[in-house]
Structure 1
């Protein structure tokens, strides 16, 4: 663990940015600029493809991949982000596991509010199944809003009568649009990235007037997780959304689901993005890769 590394990242994330109520274009451009600073490991090859109704990026190890597929959902509050902004995370999972990954370019709000993102991720999963993929060889992974989609896509798949994937990995998942977690207040000074106002601003675009008190919008509060696959939830103590992960883990335990709640001290939201510059990020990704390797069918 490096106190100096954590301090540098905290300073970076506290640099002046467009206000929380900035335009969609400003928010998207700012996020692209931030994520362009993340290190993407070597040893991968990528190509653009289509999965279901949406474009996707296929990320594969440079060598022959192992049998197994990660379906990745990028972060960005359902308003910004893309497979490219999440490439550091996706590529790290691919290089550390040997599995291939599809990163889905799902539709974004405000142009496409709820439930567009879930429709797209479910369509991508259905396309893998229709293409002959065994669900026992598929895992969902994602960060932030995409971490939330790992859960809500499972809920939608279960409701549609589809078999569920073998595992879920969620980095700092956003799981509660009611914003009722205690960490929304107790971590307000510690979080270098978000404020309640900035989260409310983007959430309003995704909600488009809908009540967040429902499972597909706030699964940490309202979802029945019965029958879910094993889950790994990773978060940092310096984030407003910390209790999204802790409360979902409690719901999973109550439903008899295998769940690992993996909390790292003094790191921000989606700290895993800083792999190569933050020791805790590399350690967390190693744990995530080990989890995935243990739950997908191995060759």
Structure 2
């Protein structure tokens, strides 16, 4: 993999201007959209739809295999981001996995604080099942706050008595809104994007005076028993490194099949930089293979019979 690519990306991310006064959520949203939005991959068709009462973006690659469906929850600190900002990334994952994808426009803070995003994630998941999607044909993925929301959605589904999907993939998941991970401080200089203050500001907007250790806000403190096979990918150069590491450890302790990948010298959600960073393309390929490998096989959390052989 290319050290030159990693160094160039790090320099580019560090060159982003920082405001002397905290930007408003609206300013953050427009700036984020301008900075990260990439075009949908060639051969992937998109259409607007509604899922769980929220608008969603459906992405269908030219080549799909079987009945598999991907539910994606975008990142952005629960404050910024949308299916449009992540259409390139989701389209790439869907294309590589050969899956139809649905990216949900869940409600954002501070207008809609916790647990609005979890409620929307659960509503989307519930509707997919209610309209005939077999959980063995369903996988879930998300990045950053959307990674934490993916885990929280599956916890809420478990509590609601719903079957679990076939697998879940999270990129640089934010799963501890108490900011207890040591890397929040130790990796601040290495992280070209975030400081501890940045992450704390998002937590303030999402949870406010609420319980930041609530399992659906900070799934690293949850009992993860019964969740499906989990792939966690994270960069070594990010303040959320320990969120990913501790999530994987918690999953393992709760008897969940889990794979943790830590990419040296890589920033937060480095997968966004597919096509210009070799490690991003390789990570998306591994994530796609992970999802495809678990589709249709079922797992103990589904409470559904195994398919006949």
SS at match of 1:110: coil
User: Do 1:165 and 1:229's aligned partners in 2 also have CA atoms closer than 8 Å?
Assistant: yes
Structure 2 residue 29 is matched with structure 1 residue 28:
yes
Structure 2 residue 120 is matched with structure 1 residue 120:
yes
Q: Look up the match of 2:290.
A: 291
User: Do 1:28 and 1:80's aligned partners in 2 also have CA atoms closer than 8 Å?
Assistant: yes
The CA distance in 2 between the partners of 1:173 and 1:20, in whole Å, is 27
The CA distance in 2 between the partners of 1:166 and 1:150, in whole Å, is 13
Q: Output aligned runs, 1:161-240, within 5 Å.
A: 161-220=161-220, 222-240=221-239
The CA distance in 1 between the partners of 2:21 and 2:44, in whole Å, is 35
The CA distance in 1 between the partners of 2:286 and 2:173, in whole Å, is 17
Q: CA deviation at 1:244?
A: 0.5
SS at match of 1:46: strand
Q: Look up the match of 1:92.
A: 92
Q: Look up the match of 2:305.
A: none
TM-score in terms of structure 2 length: 0.93
User: Do 2:64 and 2:99's aligned partners in 1 also have CA atoms closer than 8 Å?
Assistant: no
Q: CA deviation at 1:20?
A: 7.5
The CA distance in 2 between the partners of 1:229 and 1:206, in whole Å, is 27
Q: Look up the match of 1:66.
A: 66
Q: CA deviation at 1:21?
A: 2.6
Shift in alpha-carbon separation, 1:199–1:64, aligned structure 2, 3 A: closer
SS at match of 1:49: strand
Identify unmatched segments of 5+ residues in structure 1. Answer: none
The CA distance in 2 between the partners of 1:39 and 1:52, in whole Å, is 26
Shift in alpha-carbon separation, 1:208–1:106, aligned structure 2, 3 A: same
The CA distance in 2 between the partners of 1:40 and 1:245, in whole Å, is 27
Identify unmatched segments of 5+ residues in structure 2. Answer: 298-309
The CA distance in 2 between the partners of 1:164 and 1:20, in whole Å, is 43
The CA distance in 2 between the partners of 1:177 and 1:163, in whole Å, is 27
The CA distance in 2 between the partners of 1:267 and 1:89, in whole Å, is 17
SS at match of 2:287: helix
SS at match of 1:173: coil
Q: Look up the match of 1:76.
A: 76
SS at match of 2:102: strand
Segment of structure 1 superposing worse, 19-28 or 260-269: 19-28
The CA distance in 1 between the partners of 2:49 and 2:256, in whole Å, is 34
Shift in alpha-carbon separation, 1:150–1:213, aligned structure 2, 3 A: same
The CA distance in 1 between the partners of 2:191 and 2:135, in whole Å, is 37
User: Do 1:181 and 1:243's aligned partners in 2 also have CA atoms closer than 8 Å?
Assistant: yes
Shift in alpha-carbon separation, 1:3–1:20, aligned structure 2, 3 A: farther
Shift in alpha-carbon separation, 1:193–1:53, aligned structure 2, 3 A: same
Q: CA deviation at 1:19?
A: 4.8
The CA distance in 1 between the partners of 2:117 and 2:21, in whole Å, is 22
The CA distance in 2 between the partners of 1:155 and 1:69, in whole Å, is 19
User: Do 1:39 and 1:274's aligned partners in 2 also have CA atoms closer than 8 Å?
Assistant: no
The CA distance in 1 between the partners of 2:87 and 2:21, in whole Å, is 25
Q: CA deviation at 1:65?
A: 4.9
SS at match of 1:72: strand
User: Do 2:64 and 2:100's aligned partners in 1 also have CA atoms closer than 8 Å?
Assistant: no
Q: Look up the match of 2:150.
A: 150
Segment of structure 1 superposing worse, 15-24 or 38-47: 15-24
The CA distance in 1 between the partners of 2:19 and 2:266, in whole Å, is 22
